[in-house]
Amino acid sequence: MVLIYNAQTRSLEDREVVRKSDAEWREILTEEEFRIARKKGTEPAFTGRYHDFHATGLYRCVCCGTDLFSSDAKFDSETGWPSFSSPVDAHNIRTETDRSLGMIRTEVLCARCGAHLGHVFDDGPPPAGKRYCMNSASLKFFPL
């Protein structure tokens, strides 16, 4: 079990951790979603469906549906990826050190299913100064 924040009810709920085999993930995700969310890939800058998207709503994990980011926290970072100043709640994400590609970065993952979402950087807007730089393929938008 993992404690997850539900943005609709504004409450913390115990939820089952989602575990699936690669074969099971491939049945429910597109090839691009699988490559990015399950195999830690990335989409090219300015190509994702949400990089220049401005509707009001919630961005959920494409794999398990966990609420991740609100459109209220979205901002134009001019990087080519959807960027957010904060998650809907710290319970819904987890971070790990990523030493791939000869860099040290902070990877952002879904707390419920472990999907790779993107990375967080310390160059975002005040007050927190964070930029959660996410892959559109790891997210699914739900209008409010």
* CA 98 to centroid of chain Cα atoms: 15
- What does the alpha-carbon distance between residue 129 and residue 109 come to, in Å, rounded to a whole number? 19
| 3 state DSSP class of 116 | strand
Q: 124 to each of 19, 53, 65, 84, 117, how far by Cα in Å?
A: 32, 18, 26, 8, 17
From 63, 64, 113, 133, active-site residue: 133
Catalytic status, residue 110: no
User: Catalytic amino acids?
Assistant: 133
